[in-house]
Amino acid sequence: MGEQMGLNFMNDDLQKRIRQAMANPQNMGELANADAVGTVGNSDCGEMLRMWVKFKNENGKKVIDRATFQSFGCETAIAVASLATELIRGKTPEEALSLKSEDLAGELGPLPPMKIHCAQLVEGALRSALDPAAAEPKPTAAPAPTQPALSPTLQDSFSKPKEGVKIVFLDP
């Protein structure tokens, strides 16, 4: 599968860091009573990522109390999401939105070109949760109507989105 192939192209060091993050991924799974949810997909590799965010009030400021994610197969996206959900705890939504995919990937270090979109998927899910209006896809980013964006298998495996949850497909 694509991810397996992708890992083979990485240097050993990065593979090791991804495996380490994968060995004990943080904040995986649905977050009950989340205040915000963002779901994004990449129509090229078929990966989808959903992020849940819960806020709390700290000294009169709204900050991120917890964030969790669900991903469907890509190890790099899982590793980045695990780091990112830890990184944004205690940040205001604005602070979290100012983080770029390279910041979210943090200690994984620079990702090879073919894996950069995995971190961008995490950034996209976060944006979609925290700022849904800005995360709306541009009309040109919509997949061609004749081409299904996702394989039925992946779509089937993805837990049924709740009413009102929208999946945003990121620019390829």
Among residues 77, 87, 129, 167, the one that binds ligand FES under rule CB under 6 A: 77
Q: Check if the beta carbon of residue 19 is closer than 8 Å to that of residue 111.
A: no
CA distance 132 to 16: 34
CA distance 76 to 127: 19
Q: Which of 37, 118, 130, 135 is catalytic?
A: 118
For the segment 3-22, give every residue that binds ligand FES (CB under 6 A): 3, 6
Q: Is 118 a catalytic residue?
A: yes
Q: Is 74 a catalytic residue?
A: no
Q: Report which of 61, 48, 55 is spatially closest to residue 88, judged by C-alpha positions.
A: 55
The neighbour count for residue 39, using CB atoms within 10 Å, is 22
Q: Binding segment for ligand FES among 11-19, 69-77, 128-136, 160-168 (CB under 6 A)? A: 69-77
Among residues 21, 27, 43, 47, the one that binds ligand FES under rule CB under 6 A: 47
Q: Binding segment for ligand FES among 13-21, 26-34, 70-78, 154-162 (CB under 6 A)? A: 70-78
Among residues 51, 79, 118, 135, the one that binds ligand FES under rule CB under 6 A: 118
Smallest gap from residue 95 Cβ to ligand FES (A): 25
CA atoms within 13 A on the CB side of 43: 15
